[in-house]
A and B are shown apart, each in its own frame.
Chain A
Amino acid sequence: MNDLLTIWKALFTYTIAPLEISGKLIAGLFNSFTSALWSLPGWLLRFFWFNFKPLMQVLLLPGLAFILLFAIIVVWFERKFLARAMLKVGPYYCGKRSGWLQLIADFLKLFLKEIIIPYDAHKILFLLMPVMLPTIPALAVILIPFDQNWVLFNAGSLSLPMFIAIAGLAPLIPIFSGWAANNKYTIIGSFRTAYLYISAEIPLVICAAATAIMAGSFNLVEIVEAQANLWFAVPQFIGFVIFFLGLIIESERTPFDIPTAEVELVMGWRTEFSGILFGFTMMAEYVGFLAWSLLFITLYLGGFNGPNVLGLPLYSHVFWLLLKLAVLVPIVIIIRGIFPRLRMDQMLRLGWYYLTPLAVLNLFIVLTLKLLGVFP
Chain B
Amino acid sequence: MPEGVEETFVEAVRAAHPDFIESVEVLRPRRVSLVGKREEFLGLAKALKDEFGFTHPVSAGAVDYLKENRMRMNYYLMNPSSRFMLILGIDLPRDDLTLPSMTQVWEAMSFHERETREMFGISFEDHPNPISLLLPPDWKGGYPLRKDFEGEETQP
Is chain B in direct contact with chain A in the complex (CB below 8 A)?
no
Task: Give A residues with C-beta under 8 Å from B.
Answer: none
